[in-house]
Amino acid sequence: MTSIAADPADSVFVRACLGEPVEHTPVWFMRQAGRSLPEYRELRAEAGLSMLEACRRPDLVTEITLQPVRRHGVDAAVFYSDIVVPVAAAGVGVEIVAGTGPVVADPIRSTADLARIGRAEPADLSFVEEAVRMLIPRLEGTPLIGFAGAPFTLASYLIEGGPSKTHAKTKALMHGDPHLWHGLAERLAQITSTFLRVQIDAGASAVQLFDSWAGALSEADYRRFVLPHSAAVLQDIGPVVPRIHFGVGTAHLLTAMAEAGADVVGVDWRTPLDQAAALVNVADLRLDGGEPGPARTRAVQGNLDPALLGAPWEVVDHEVRRVLAEGEAATGHVFNLGHGVPPEADPGVLTRIVELVHKISVR
């Protein structure tokens, strides 16, 4: 029962992001294009390419992005790429290691290291533009979500040299050398803005800014070191399409993340959506600490626990209904998981979730 609009801007997904009336709650899944699908694994094996190489092939990106739309009937496609793609285009030596994630050969530890990061120009990302333009007609009205990593999460990879559970080196640099930190974050904000604008200009109907590791920070540190740079990205791309902002473990940061300027705040599985809706719909605060600005109404996205995909169907059914009920407290709700689809997830369960959401959320 996926609602296909002739114009993606009038799709149920885009309207829900903007808090407008919809026929049913739209649903898509973070990481829906990728590891959980056997057709994806088969395609990657046949191509024999690394993750980054696959992300630079418009034909592969197009096919992989389309796979979950065909299989699940989701209300939006998400562009198949990786958050380090624009960083690599800016000259950073990074590779995506299977089972590990992004690994940086020479981590950023000093001001001199900052000079190694160039500016990502649209021409450096021409393969992204080509892929999006190839995708749009084949999506036949299904909106495409572009995405990028937020400055803090990208900086964490560059400073740590790879994934980290504690982000200790990142926090130490942030506090020990604020000048270097802000210089790095400003450069990454420029790279991220360019990456998102290329996708928007080529036809993406919405974008999501992932700050996957922001939950590792206190609210004070987030406001001082991160919020200005995420806000710069969201303000730079402007309100031309809905902007979604998501992080993991960010219950204590939801109000601050909303202030960065997104239209939709993604919520992980730890926070009920009715509580999240109250937290993100408060008067905006000026980033310079001045008087509150006018209140804004934001939609929420989420937030089924991905671990439940392996539970008996009656458990999944109950939890989907709970999430939908809690989402009714928000002006707009986009159903999603509270994080990405695990690689071991049964695709059939995802398809059943889409069908269930569409069935029981009919207005």
Q: Render pLDDT for 143-191 as a digit per residue (tens, 0 to 9).
A: 999 999 999 999 999 999 999 999 999 999 999 999 999 999 999 999 9
Q: What's the CA gap between 154 and 223, in Å, rounded?
A: 17
Closest CA to 86 of 134, 151, 130: 151
Taking residues 349-360, what's their average pLDDT? 98
315 neighbors 356 (Cβ within 8 angstroms): no
Q: What average pLDDT is seen over the chain?
A: 94
The answer to whether residues 217 and 150 touch, using CB atoms and an 8 Å cutoff, is no
- Predicted model pTM: 0.94
| Maximal CA-CA distance, the chain | 57
Contact 98, 34 (CB under 8 A): no
Q: For residues 184 and 108, is the Cβ–Cβ distance under 8 A?
A: yes
**Is 35 noted as a catalytic residue in this protein?**
yes
Task: Locate 251 and state its tokens.
Answer: 């219950």
DSSP state at residue 347: H
- Which one from 10, 35, 223, 270 is the annotated catalytic residue? 35
Query: Is residue 285 very low, low, confident or very high in pLDDT (cuts 50, 70, 90)?
Result: very low
- Please work out, in degrees rounded to the nearest 5, the angle formed at the alpha carbon of residue 13 by the alpha carbons of 8 and 17: 115
* pLDDT at position 286 over 70: no
Q: Which of 82, 124, 211, 263 is an active site residue?
A: 82
Cβ proximity of 16 and 3 under 8 Å: no
| Both tokens assigned to 135 | 């995708």
105 neighbors 59 (Cβ within 8 angstroms) = no
The DSSP bridge pattern shows strands 77-78 and 264-266 to be unpaired
Segment holding 154, helix H or strand E: helix 151-160
Question: What's the number of CA atoms in the CB half-sphere (13 Å) around residue 166?
Answer: 3
For 241-263, write each residue's pLDDT tens digit: 999 999 999 999 999 999 999 99
Name the percent of the chain lying above pLDDT 70.
Answer: 95
Mean pLDDT of 280-295: 57
Catalytic residue among 40, 80, 157, 222: 157
Q: Is 157 a catalytic residue?
A: yes
> Is residue 44 annotated as part of the catalytic site, yes or no?
yes
* pLDDT for the residue 176: 97
DSSP code per residue over 271-322? S-HHHHHHHHSSB---TTS-S---B---EEEEEE-GGGGGS-HHHHHHHHHH
Q: How far apart are CA 16 and CA 24, in angstroms?
A: 9
**Band of residue 287 on the pLDDT scale cut at 50, 70, 90:** very low
* Identified catalytic residue from 44, 57, 109, 321: 44
Which residues, in sequence order, are bridge partners of residue 244? 208, 264
CB 218 within 8 A of CB 227: no
| DSSP three-state, residue 264 | strand
Which of the residues 15, 31, 187, 197 is marked catalytic? 31
Q: Phi and psi for 240 in degrees, rounded to 5?
A: -70, -30
- Three-class SS of 37-76: CHHHHHHHHHHCCCHHHHHCCHHHHHHHHHHHHHHHCCCC
Q: Is the dihedral of CA 243, 285, 183, 217 positive or negative?
A: negative
* Rounded-to-integer distance, Cα 51 and Cα 44, Å: 9
State which amino acid sits at residue 166.
Answer: T
Q: Is the pLDDT of residue 200 over 90?
A: yes
